[in-house]
Structure 1
């Protein structure tokens, strides 16, 4: 579990994850290490850094109550705390059904705002930063009330909407992931702001390349790969954003094995927030319909990302992401032990393997059945998910209407 602490509270035995502030304010070339040397402790205390992130599952905590416990005990207690929380910052979580209509209106509103933001940037005009931050606040509040409503709706974008709604989706995913990592509220919103602006550099890509339905040529792909640096240049020269936002814009296509771009960074040379951006960006990209391919189902996407995770993503960040969206994310088609097919409606905070589902089809008889919503967490030993299914294999065209209640357009 990550924790942000003041430099005055740092102790030997803590595992340093990241320093808050500019890399020029501390003397270390690495930002992740177990603090065991008195000289290193003194160097941190006398540097310009005021705060830093520690990982209490890998080292000591400022709370004496945690010290002496095994890593497994700390992880188990942390997970129970995260999964058992029904309130965040004093605000009650509500059901997906109650939030879905509000989230749908917010999706429409933010899409138009992002279209205008990209249009202004393409014309060389400054982004209205305060208006953009207000959008992030609205998205953050929706995710706080119900983490899966807006995230799941944003996935339903059309190929034509992709560039704009992708920014909205990554914003929401970054917020959900940051909350799962138990980050401070101001950092959570800054991570969301980074998600909203992470692809601003795509304004520099010709639309015929950006929306090309076929395979890109090597020259066209080189143009597309320039968008992180184009975006960083725009943010540096034109807008007042934090280093965190700039970092995510520039490095969200880096991979932990060093095969990403634009810098080929690897491992701990990639920041926490850029690693978060990489996971959120890929998940929304592969679950979305694009001009050149149809999106994968949410559950299949999580499975494929797990296969890539060792070289592509930071393992701890990816695991936290799965906890945030679910092993079977909302909208996934699953087969139950009874032979019925169901669509995942909502996650259960107490069990990633037992979401709420809506049954609607018999796989045995290949016939529709009376729709019924089941809470699998209350049916342990009686009913469970035994596998993922492909909507295309079954010819289901209106699957998203089943969980969202919103008719397809």
Structure 2
């Protein structure tokens, strides 16, 4: 970010698509919990303009600039010119996937730092401080509503030492998208997000040498880890969260057939939030790389989850598949045109026609220049099946859909 990218403007000049850095004035008048974010909804714009503050700062390298002022020119002898209409402001859902990935990358950084702090407090035996969580969930809701695939996919890019924290962000985003697909109310959608964000808080009580062990756990170590739902339930006793969120933390490892833990609940005895968390938790866990195993391809992961009879609520799992698609973002797929590609963005009208980035020609057995293809715009090509993810290093697959964001993470 160069210094000349930061520009001071009047609050009245703010428009959707600008990246707000801060307000010039009393910080108590700031209408937002944070001042560094992309203005992407009419409600955010209204709050900024109603703040009573006169000026603010924007970063033109991360968002839109003010419209340039046309130079004055003589009109003597000139033919009349029709007045140019100003382009309408960008709608909340009109951000491109690339723009939302940039926004999601910044959100991931903020969320990771906040969750790390909360886990650190809980590890010291302090009451889990969840005061920041509601605002964080609101930010995640806005991102998911604009482009569900951006934050959901980006939060899967985890370092070895931050798996627990970014897993919480990923499950939160998945829970928000799932609640939306299940047509839950806005308050319930936020409860779902909070459940995802806090579902593993009990792992703060698990020794780090077990939590970060770079190999498979022994039976005794696994027994220790299996106590984290109860630790989480207790940690949130005075955390200012609802019973629904605490129940999700306690029972997200239960199974519909009663073979889960810690209380071997079965069927509808397991709360809806817990049944939802179970699906989102497992999906992110099995698609993420760990020190001791490579993550499964997202499409393969869904296939496996469907085959585990008695594990998940079928209705919830069906809604979840609607969220991530048959070939989720990051899946390695084969096209009808005999190309290998990585799924970049979903097409909700046709799950076999997502936007992909093709990079290899199977027929000629050679790499081709990476090409972004919107399969919804062509009848000649489509996805015909998933491919073995082991054919390529994880880093190559992630760079193909995340681009520069992969190198910056």
TM-score interval for Structure 1 and Structure 2 normalised by the shorter chain: 0.7 to 0.9
Moved more, 164-173 or 128-137: 128-137
Aligned to 1:235: 236
Q: Write the mapping of 1:7-406 to structure 2, written as runs, cut at 5 A.
A: 91-236=92-237, 238-308=238-308, 310-380=309-379, 382-395=380-393, 397-406=395-404
Aligned to 2:83: none
The answer as to whether partners of 1:232 and 1:246 remain within 8 angstroms in 2 is yes
String of CA shifts for 1:111-160, please: whole Å, max 9, x gaps.
Answer: 11111110011112233322121111111111111111011000111222
Whether contact under 8 Å (2:102, 2:405) holds in the other structure is no
- The residue matched to 2:125 in structure 1 has which SS? coil
Structure label with greater radius of gyration: 2
Structure 1 residue 263 displacement after superposition:
0.7
User: How far, CA to CA, are the matches of 1:267 and 1:316 in structure 2?
Assistant: 12
2:286–2:295 Cα contact (<8 Å) kept: yes
SS of 2:341 mapped into structure 1: strand
- Check the 8 A contact 1:359/1:373 in 2, yes or no: yes
Residues 192, 284 of structure 1: alpha-carbon distance in 2 compared, 3 angstrom cutoff = same
Q: In structure 1, how many angstroms separate the alpha carbons of the residues matched to 2:344 and 2:215?
A: 34
Q: What SS does the aligned partner of 2:384 have?
A: strand
1:43-101 deviations in Å (ceiling 9; x for gaps): xxxxxxxxxxxxxxxxxxxxxxxxxxxxxxxxxxxxxxxxxxxxxxx942533112010
The answer to whether the 8 A contact 2:296-2:389 is kept is no
Secondary structure (helix, strand or coil) at the match of 1:323 reads helix
Taking the aligned partners of 2:369 and 2:216, their CA distance within structure 1 comes to 43
Q: Is the 8 A contact 1:93 1:144 kept in 2?
A: no
Asked if the contact 1:162/1:289 (under 8 Å) is kept, the reply is no
In structure 2, C-alpha distance between the alignment counterparts of 1:402 and 1:141, rounded to whole Å: 25
How far, CA to CA, are the matches of 1:397 and 1:225 in structure 2? 31
CA distance in 1 between partners of 2:356 and 2:365 (Å): 19
Give the TM-score normalised by structure 1. 0.75
Q: Secondary structure at the match of 2:351?
A: strand
Distance 2:256 2:317 in 1: 12
Change (3 A) 1:134 1:172: same
Which residue matches 1:32? Answer: none
SS of 2:323's partner is helix
Question: Quick one: distance in 2 between partners of 1:210 and 1:402?
Answer: 30
Whole-angstrom distance in 2 between the partners of 1:94 and 1:401: 21
Q: Distance in 2 between matches of 1:217 and 1:331?
A: 32
- SS in structure 2 of the partner of residue 357 of structure 1: strand
Distance 2:400 2:219 in 1: 41
Give the distance between the partners of 1:372 and 1:181, measured in 2 at CA: 34
Structure 1 segments unaligned to the other structure (5+ residues): 1-89
Gaps of 5+ in 2: 1-90
Which secondary structure does the structure 2 equivalent of 1:373 belong to? strand
- Contact 2:118-2:130 within 8 A present in 1 as well: no
Q: CA RMSD in A?
A: 1.5
Cα distance in 2 for partners of 1:307, 1:405 equals 33
Contact 2:137 2:190 in 1 (8 A): yes
Equivalents in 1 of 2:131, 2:232: separation in Å?
A: 19
* Contact map agreement 1:228 1:250 (CA 8 A) in 2: yes
Greater than 6 Å deviation, 4+ residue runs: none
Deviation at residue 205 of structure 1 after TM alignment: 0.6
Give me the whole-angstrom Cα distance separating, in 1, the residues matched to 2:188 and 2:306: 26
Q: Name the CA shift for 1:127/1:347 in 2 (closer, same or farther; >3 Å).
A: same
Alpha-carbon distance between aligned partners in 2 of 1:343 and 1:135, rounded to the nearest angstrom: 30
Does the CA-based 8 Å contact 1:175-1:191 persist in structure 2?
A: yes
Q: Distance in 2 between matches of 1:340 and 1:334?
A: 8
Contact kept? 1:93, 1:146, Cα under 8 Å: no
Distance, in Å, in 2 between the alignment partners of 1:362 and 1:278 is: 38
Which residue pairs with 1:84 in the alignment?
Answer: none
Q: How many Å separate the matches in 1 of 2:310 and 2:127?
A: 37
